[in-house]
A and B are shown apart, each in its own frame.
Chain A
Amino acid sequence: EVQLVESGGGLVQPGGSLRLSCGASGFTFSSYEMTWVRQAPGKGLEWVSFIGSGGTPIYYPDSVKGRFTISRDNAKNSLYLQMNSLRAEDTAVYYCARRVLGAFDIWGQGTMVTVSS
């Protein structure tokens, strides 16, 4: 079964850091581009990072550039998101998603990140 499973979410204070992980199974992870997408409470979907199948290219929106770092370990079938200098507005459910043919075809169930003192 093709599957993505996120982990690493939780409660963190403003200015703190958190590292999210996404484990992939059921497909050749190293062949696919991957992304992180988030949904803040009561809001829509917002893309937060992209990484090519081999680790490049990497893209971020301005809202997280310089604070978030996406990476992957193809040997471990894993995707990561290092989040630093977290703000209240980063509170959201974070999804990892596989990108193919210009769309995000497989999504994980999401992991909740809450930034609050």
Chain B
Amino acid sequence: EIVLTQSPGTLSLSPGERATLSCRTTQSVTNSNFGWYQHKPGQAPRLLMYGASRRATGIPDRFSGSGSGTDFTLTINELEPEDFAVYYCQHYWTFGQGTKVEIK
């Protein structure tokens, strides 16, 4: 079973700063089944990236995804107030434990 480990657990940043979120897998995985999600309390999760680096429909270009093999990264440039949320990586059926991006 492949395990996804996200770091850091919490990221404290100010609006306008850049957020760099990491997701590491215990085995090398294919990009084609790798995604990133944003989740806010009381809302449905929102797909941000699929195929590791492809933005989903309607996602602003300040969000970008990269990586391959066992190391993947979600970058959020110039954080907007609405970007403070929990972010999850996903491979097939498995999710990481989440990274909370909070306002510093």
- Please give the residue numbers on chain B whose beta carbons come within 8 Å of chain A beta carbons, in ascending order: 32-35, 37, 39, 43-47, 49-51, 56-57, 86, 88, 90, 92-98
Task: With A46-B95, A102-B92 as known contacts, state yes or no: A107 contacts B50, CB within 8 Å.
Answer: no
Contact indicator A45/B88 (Cβ below 8 Å) = yes
Residues from chain A with Cβ under 8 Å of B43 in the complex? 109
| Sampled A-B contacts (14; CB under 8 Å) | A37-B45, A44-B88, A44-B95, A47-B93, A47-B95, A101-B50, A102-B32, A102-B34, A103-B47, A103-B51, A104-B37, A105-B57, A107-B47, A109-B44
Residues in A lying within 8 Å of B, measured CB to CB: 35, 37, 44-47, 50, 59, 61, 95, 97, 101-105, 107-110
Please, which residues of chain B bring their CB within 8 A of the CB of A47? 93-95
Q: How far is the CA of A59 from the CA of B94 in the complex (A)?
A: 13
The residues of A that contact B51 with a CB separation of less than 8 Å are 101-103
